[in-house]
């Protein structure tokens, strides 16, 4: 333990200084939320492994660091050429770029949008049109732990996507979050809000990437509202530098007949924790969670999901796959709640892990809480090594050991990757899989 009494102290004591740098931003409605959050942060403790929800993930190493909040460090100068290293390319998209939680206007590029649609930074929206988001902002992510409070207190910017009723965004939106400045231990606290109206449709790719090798801490919060019959594909990729910390809290509220899919890829980070929570507040909707977590060396990657079925006739479907090498640790906890009203619920959850080394470990904890009687729920978890029969089959064609293993990794990851409906992103993700696991790459040559 360090000699400080509480890790909160650093953040609480620096708040005034931070506040003084906010200028005009302290006038907005968000500032009340901010002040409330710093008080909460003062009152509450960061989670420890004694908390059930954090049993397998020890954040003490993270909390030993005093991360510098926004406005107390220099952001790296990044030009559009540098940016190419971090983004998914070769497809048409609108891009918003945030560097350590601050919006970078020059690197962002948003084309003409359908009337009423907004793809902009939170600050710009607060300045220009606060009423657009006022009744939604911070209504899903009520401060549940000290990390959420930290984001609320110090977060200054993030992405806002507003899609009016009946509007379909043709181009995917890529949200790029760069963390780190290469010299200081910094905080990156994106705060995002996505509001999809009735029958609205969009594909959103949230791309978290790391700048430099110095540790930093990305602590991000995203709220997503999908109104009736909206169809939202949300992809999240995370390749922070492997010395860094990444904590993500995403809350989703779905209304009747909407379809929401969350597909996540975790590559980087020393300690990664993602909480994804859905409230299904309506009937006949579909909620899909897919995820691929990769970790090697001493990485730790933890996904916690919670799907709350409140109304009848909904379907939720979760598929999480984890590949661990070296001494990496994986954690998966998936909670499904089926409330008394939620008859005819179909809820599926599957969690599969492949351990590439004997020293890698995974803890998996499915939790079903069912209060309705006419439901179909299932969950399954498997842990193993790569498929031996397929391994023999591939090698029996003359393909050597390392390439055969790469093929099996790709085969294992496939049903998660396949949910990405942007072809170019799919291929780049396959590339990242091999790059991250340091395996020989299998490139697809079937496209003549």
State the DSSP string of 329-351.
Answer: EEEEEEEEEE-TT-TT-EEEEEE
**Nearer Cβ to other proteins, position 260 or 265?**
265
**Nearer Cβ to other proteins, position 10 or 393?**
393
**Nearer Cβ to other proteins, position 27 or 423?**
423
In whole angstroms, the minimum distance from the beta carbon of 252 to other proteins comes to 28
In whole angstroms, the minimum distance from the beta carbon of 448 to other proteins comes to 6
- Sequence-separated (6 or more) residues with CB below 8 Å from residue 276: 250, 252, 262, 264, 289, 303, 304, 305, 306
**Nearer Cβ to other proteins, position 118 or 404?**
404
Q: Using alpha carbons only, give the angle 180, 184, 186 rounded to the nearest 5 degrees.
A: 55
Phi-psi region of 297 (alpha: psi -120 to 50; beta: other; left: phi over 0): left
In whole angstroms, the minimum distance from the beta carbon of 443 to other proteins comes to 7
**Nearer Cβ to other proteins, position 3 or 443?**
443
What are the backbone dihedrals phi and psi of residue 328, each rounded to the nearest 5 degrees, phi first? Answer: -65, 150
- Rounded to an integer, what distance in angstroms lies between the CA atom of residue 2 and that of residue 113? 51
In whole angstroms, the minimum distance from the beta carbon of 259 to other proteins comes to 24
The helices-and-strands tally (H runs, E runs) of the chain is: 10, 20
**Alpha carbon 102 to its chain's center:** 18
- Rounded to an integer, what distance in angstroms lies between the CA atom of residue 289 and that of residue 233? 10
Q: Residues in the site for other proteins, rule: CB under 8 A?
A: 388-390, 392-401, 403-404, 407-408, 410-411, 413-415, 417-418, 442-448
233: β partners: 203, 261
**Nearer Cβ to other proteins, position 113 or 417?**
417
Determine contact, residues 194/225, Cβ cutoff 8 Å.
Answer: yes
- Closest C-alpha among 240, 245, 228 to residue 63: 245
In whole angstroms, the minimum distance from the beta carbon of 414 to other proteins comes to 3
Distances (CA, A) of 13 to 187, 269, 374: 16, 28, 53
- Exposure string over 303-338, b if 16+ CB within 10 A, otherwise e: bbbbbbbbbbbbbbbbbbbbbbbbbbbbbbbbbbbb
In whole angstroms, the minimum distance from the beta carbon of 263 to other proteins comes to 15
In whole angstroms, the minimum distance from the beta carbon of 264 to other proteins comes to 18
Rg over CA atoms, the chain: 21
In whole angstroms, the minimum distance from the beta carbon of 265 to other proteins comes to 15
In whole angstroms, the minimum distance from the beta carbon of 293 to other proteins comes to 17
- Sequence-separated (6 or more) residues with CB below 8 Å from residue 222: 158, 190, 192, 193, 194, 206, 248, 249, 250, 251
In whole angstroms, the minimum distance from the beta carbon of 320 to other proteins comes to 17
In whole angstroms, the minimum distance from the beta carbon of 249 to other proteins comes to 31
State the DSSP string of 180-235.
Answer: --SSS-BEE--EEEEEE-TT-EEEEEEEEEE-SSS--EEEEEEEEEE-TT-EEEEE
**Nearer Cβ to other proteins, position 342 or 420?**
420
Please, what is the angle between helix 146-154 and helix 29-43, to 10°?
Answer: 140
**Nearer Cβ to other proteins, position 284 or 391?**
391
Distances (CA, A) of 434 to 27, 86, 270, 353, 356: 48, 16, 18, 17, 13
**Nearer Cβ to other proteins, position 280 or 409?**
409
**Nearer Cβ to other proteins, position 67 or 290?**
290
**Nearer Cβ to other proteins, position 112 or 448?**
448
């Amino acid at each position: 333990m360090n000699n400080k009494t509480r890790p909160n102290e650093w953040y609480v004591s620096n708040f005034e200084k931070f506040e003084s740098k906010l200028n005009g931003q302290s006038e907005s409605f968000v500032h009340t939320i901010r002040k409330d959050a710093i008080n909460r942060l003062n009152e509450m403790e960061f989670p420890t492994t004694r908390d059930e929800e954090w049993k397998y993930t020890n954040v003490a190493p993270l909390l030993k660091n005093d991360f510098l909040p926004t406005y107390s460090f220099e952001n790296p100068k990044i030009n559009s050429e540098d940016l190419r290293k971090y983004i998914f390319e070769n497809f048409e998209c609108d891009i918003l770029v945030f560097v350590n939680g601050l919006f970078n206007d020059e690197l962002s590029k948003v084309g003409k949008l359908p009337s009423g649609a907004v793809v902009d930074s939170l600050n710009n929206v607060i300045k220009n049109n606060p009423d657009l988001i006022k009744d939604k902002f911070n209504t899903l992510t009520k401060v549940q732990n000290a990390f959420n409070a930290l984001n609320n207190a110090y977060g200054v910017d993030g992405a806002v996507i507003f899609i009016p009723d009946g509007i379909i965004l043709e181009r995917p939106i890529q949200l790029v979050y760069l963390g780190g400045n290469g010299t200081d231990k910094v905080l990156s606290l994106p705060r995002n809000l996505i509001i999809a109206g009735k029958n609205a449709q969009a594909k959103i790719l949230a791309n978290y990437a790391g700048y430099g090798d110095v540790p930093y801490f990305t602590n991000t919060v995203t709220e997503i509202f999908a109104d009736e019959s909206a169809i939202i594909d949300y992809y999240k990729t995370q390749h922070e530098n492997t010395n860094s910390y990444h904590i993500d809290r995403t809350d989703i509220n779905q209304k009747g007949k909407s379809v929401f899919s969350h597909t996540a890829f975790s590559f980087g980070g020393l300690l990664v924790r993602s909480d994804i929570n859905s409230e299904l507040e309506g009937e006949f909707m579909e909620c899909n969670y897919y995820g691929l977590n990769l970790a090697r060396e001493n990485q730790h990657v933890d996904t916690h999901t919670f799907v709350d079925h409140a109304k009848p006739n909904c379907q939720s479907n979760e598929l999480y796959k984890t590949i661990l090498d070296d001494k990496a640790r994986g954690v998966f906890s998936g909670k499904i709640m089926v409330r008394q009203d939620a008859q005819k619920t179909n809820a599926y959850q599957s969690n599969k892990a492949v351990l590439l080394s004997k020293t890698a470990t995974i803890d998996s904890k499915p939790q079903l809480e069912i209060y309705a009687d006419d439901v179909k729920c299932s969950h399954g978890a498997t842990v193993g090594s790569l498929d031996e029969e397929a391994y023999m089959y591939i090698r029996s064609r003359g393909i050597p050991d390392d390439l055969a293993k790469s093929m099996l990794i790709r085969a294992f990851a496939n049903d998660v990757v396949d949910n990405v409906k942007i072809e170019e992103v799919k291929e780049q993700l396959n590339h990242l899989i091999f790059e991250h696991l340091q395996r020989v790459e299998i490139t697809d040559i079937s496209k003549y």
